[in-house]
Structure 1
Amino acid sequence: MRDELDRRAMATLSGGHMAVDFASGSVPALLPFFTLKFDLSYTATAVLMLAVLVSSSLVQPFFGLWSDRRGAMWLLPGGVALAGLATGLAASAPTYPLVAGLVFVAGIGIAAYHPEGAKFAAFASGRKRASGMSYFNIGGNTGYALGPIVVTPLVLWLGLGGGTLAMIPVLVMATVLLRSLSALRGVAPAAAGAQRAADGRDDVRAMTLLTIVIAFRSVAWFGLLTFVPLWVVANGGTEGEGGRELSLMLVSGAIGTLVLGPVADRIGLRRTLVVTQAALPFLIVVFVAVGGAVGTFALMLVGLSCVGTFGVTMVLSQLYLPRHVGMASGLSIGLAMGLGGIAAVLLGVVADIIDLETALYLAAAAPAIGCVFSIFLPRPHTVGAPHAEPAAPAIV
């Protein structure tokens, strides 16, 4: 096992993660404009989020299985290119069904990148797995945060065609990844190391519990991604102000990624997860009920607590399924979060039938349930961690 993180490889992988999640993060930023253009209900707006989530999340385990069995490095540049191209076309699409279809295609590109990228990030991380995965995730979380920061003003200035223009850097990064594939192959473990990793034992029960925890966390997360801008507008704000609130939540999430990774290495993966899950319900209630500067600060802490633990759950999933690292990444990034995204559509139904405030309070309840399940997560076996057996991260 390498002692130090391979910074060059991680920078490339994190850059690809930034690009693909910039495309992903642009979708919720575009939702208020799609709502205005097509006169959409809350449910119809949430369906657009569902379209990208179903394809970007629920199919990720299949890409992960493909990666584990055959290796598929071409998914790195291919996934980024498809995500950027389809999102850019969706921004300028003339009809609602075409928008839904294109964001679905964009989601397939997003799904293609993540398991392969996470697997190679694990190879390049060195001994401090949570910190290393945080470096990988900071790219994705920064990209997701930049989505509304860049897209909202561009669309306000140029119309929805500005969303198309914003995807050009994504396509540039796809080209960079294509030219970097030979260098990235150097971080893969040697055959003997891979065989030792395969000697680890998959813990399906633990992975099931972790999937439930992530799913409940993502109910709150995707509910907020979908409805924070609309909540601001419903309370007298503008689309630009709604995009600003969303951006603050996402930027705080990117900061949380850097903060909570080292914290998890020091105090333990499970302990970090339980504490942050327990904080989320309170913080969401403060955002909805109090509002103002206090509510905005609470929303920023939601981003820090929620997004900051993406890397923690990814490392746990790889430790629970050491024989199937790509599959583990697909499950933790994809399937569990996709299930939460489906629930976000149900929150849209609640918002239409009752009101948006009730839907947001229901979103606050979800991580409280997830916190209960997180308490029962077992200590993972460390033998199967990619690249080696000793000196795994703290897992208390």
Structure 2
Amino acid sequence: MRFHPHAPRMAMLCLLHAISDCFSSFVVTLQLVLALTFALDKVEAGLLATIGLIGSNLAQPVFGWISDRWNGRWLIIVGPALSAVCLGMLGLSPWLGLTVALIFVGMLGVAMFHPEAATLAARFGAAGSARMMALFMAAGYAGHAAGPWIISTAVSAPGRTFADSWITSLLAIPALLFGLLLIRRLPQAESARDTGPRQRFTALLRGRHRAIWLLIAAQTTRLLALNVVLNAIAHFLEERGRDQQAVGRWMAVYIAAQALGILVGGATSPRYHERTALMASLAAVLVPLWILPWAPAGIALTVIAVTGIAIGWTIPVAVRLGQDIVPGGRRWISGMMMGLTWGTAGLIAPPLVGWLSREWSSHTALIAAGVIGVVALGCAVALPGQARLNDLRGGER
């Protein structure tokens, strides 16, 4: 059996992504514990999660820009290790101010890792293919899903307290190990392959503005629809008299379905036909999105799962297309497509769903997700033609 030549390096990169994203879910999971520890109300505890979201997502384009100007492969090592140390030590912090600093710096570690790592994932794959990007993103989903279980077990297992969160910091050891091994297996020429000569930012985007900003808009609105559905699940089930365990099960199904869609969609989408794939997937997701508000109780969970698969199908395709059409700024566009878009959607969705559910019902929030899905499709339709997108690749084909 012949393995992909980059299989060992890709495996280490995926493990690093899983470790990094594992810590990114700690703050949300620990909201109630932090509220009890520092006598915070629910709004104040939620602000801690917002601080983490700003650090982990909105800062990614900045680190991407830095990596595009200079060789940023060291961020692959520093980012996950910094997250492990800072976020794992939350239980040992005696002051709220120190806790806020640990959250922000630890989540900055998450932001450091993603632009450089996403660019490497694309490099490990064939030109124009989103397969490696899909595998990379699925590994992050796995880590994000494991994070709540890991930190909850560390601080609430029999005989343990919040102070025992430090145990999770031991994940810094495999993070450093995998990072160093990966860097040693990465030739200097390949790591700097697409760093290129330093250019003015305006020069990088010249002739690409329409394609870039429409792609970012399509990704942001797609992820906003995704997050509106995710946040509406609890309200939807509460209105139907279901308990918290049901909420957890439905959310788990929805998130797992997204990961499946990302993995399968990224592996099967045709190369150099991204515009068609994006339009088809964003049109297809409108079917379950618009069925969901009126779905009978017996099939609602199935519709949720289909929505997750369809909405995740071309997320890695969009990221890879962005990297290809900005050849001198791959890490910056990776930060925009994987950080800014997710962060913006994550900041808007919770208050939007809360307001719509309070003033009307979860039914209205789910209708809003369908409307946002239509906007995402419109952005994809407005993208330049595929021939123009291929021209922007800068000789990658």
Identify if the C-alpha distance between structure 1 residues 285 and 321 changes in structure 2 by more than 3 Å, giving closer, same or farther: same
Distance 2:155 2:228 in 1: 23
Distance 1:160 1:237 in 2: 30
Identify if the C-alpha distance between structure 1 residues 192 and 100 changes in structure 2 by more than 3 Å, giving closer, same or farther: closer
| 1:171-207 residue CA offsets vs partner (Å, 9 max, x unmatched) | 5324321343121245716769958xx9997612110
Q: How does 1:284-303 map to 2 (within 5 A)?
A: 284=289, 286-287=291-292, 289-290=294-295, 292=297, 294-303=299-308
Aligned partner of 1:373 among 368, 379, 383: 379
| 1:215-269 residue CA offsets vs partner (Å, 9 max, x unmatched) | 1122223344555456546654444443333222222222222210132226932
Aligned partner of 2:254 among 227, 249, 252: 249
The alignment partner of 1:265 has SS state of coil
Distance 2:81 2:56 in 1: 14
Cα pair 1:122 1:132 within 8 Å, conserved: yes
Identify if the C-alpha distance between structure 1 residues 194 and 129 changes in structure 2 by more than 3 Å, giving closer, same or farther: farther
Distance 2:97 2:232 in 1: 21
Match of 2:351 in 1: 346
Identify if the C-alpha distance between structure 1 residues 267 and 242 changes in structure 2 by more than 3 Å, giving closer, same or farther: farther
Distance 1:374 1:352 in 2: 29
Match of 2:51 in 1: 51
With 4-13 and 181-190 compared, the bigger mean Cα shift is at 181-190
Cα pair 1:146 1:247 within 8 Å, conserved: no
Match of 1:211 in 2: 216
Max radius of gyration: which structure? 2
Distance 1:33 1:230 in 2: 23
Match of 1:172 in 2: 174
Identify if the C-alpha distance between structure 1 residues 304 and 205 changes in structure 2 by more than 3 Å, giving closer, same or farther: same
Cα pair 2:270 2:277 within 8 Å, conserved: no
What is the total number of aligned residue pairs between the two structures?
383
Cα pair 1:259 1:308 within 8 Å, conserved: yes
Q: How does 1:1-396 map to 2 (within 5 A)?
A: 6-31=6-31, 40-41=41-42, 47-90=47-90, 102-148=102-148, 150-151=150-151, 157=157, 165-166=167-168, 168-169=170-171, 172-185=174-187, 188=190, 203-226=208-231, 228-229=233-234, 232=237, 235-265=240-270, 268-284=273-289, 286-287=291-292, 289-290=294-295, 292=297, 294-347=299-352, 350=355, 353-354=358-359, 357=362, 358-378=364-384, 379=386, 380-382=388-390, 385=393, 389-390=396-397
The alignment partner of 1:184 has SS state of coil
Distance 2:41 2:204 in 1: 52
Counterpart amino acid of 1:334? Answer: G
Identify if the C-alpha distance between structure 1 residues 92 and 221 changes in structure 2 by more than 3 Å, giving closer, same or farther: farther
Gaps of 5+ in 1: 391-396
The alignment partner of 2:185 has SS state of helix
Distance 2:273 2:237 in 1: 37
Distance 1:95 1:113 in 2: 28
Identify if the C-alpha distance between structure 1 residues 182 and 86 changes in structure 2 by more than 3 Å, giving closer, same or farther: same
Gaps of 5+ in 2: 198-202
Instruction: Report the Cα offset of residue 70 of structure 1.
Output: 0.6
Instruction: Report the Cα offset of residue 319 of structure 1.
Output: 2.1
Distance 1:251 1:287 in 2: 18
Distance 1:11 1:275 in 2: 31
Instruction: Report the Cα offset of residue 98 of structure 1.
Output: 6.5
| 1:26-75 residue CA offsets vs partner (Å, 9 max, x unmatched) | 4444457667886755x656544432222222221111111011111111
Q: RMSD between aligned alpha carbons?
A: 3.7
Instruction: Report the Cα offset of residue 314 of structure 1.
Output: 0.7
TM-score, scaled to structure 1 = 0.80
Identify if the C-alpha distance between structure 1 residues 304 and 147 changes in structure 2 by more than 3 Å, giving closer, same or farther: farther
Identify if the C-alpha distance between structure 1 residues 238 and 353 changes in structure 2 by more than 3 Å, giving closer, same or farther: closer
Counterpart amino acid of 2:208? Answer: D
Identify if the C-alpha distance between structure 1 residues 83 and 235 changes in structure 2 by more than 3 Å, giving closer, same or farther: farther
Counterpart amino acid of 1:64? Answer: G
Cα pair 2:53 2:343 within 8 Å, conserved: yes
| 1:307-344 residue CA offsets vs partner (Å, 9 max, x unmatched) | 34321111111122112111111111112222222212
The alignment partner of 2:72 has SS state of coil
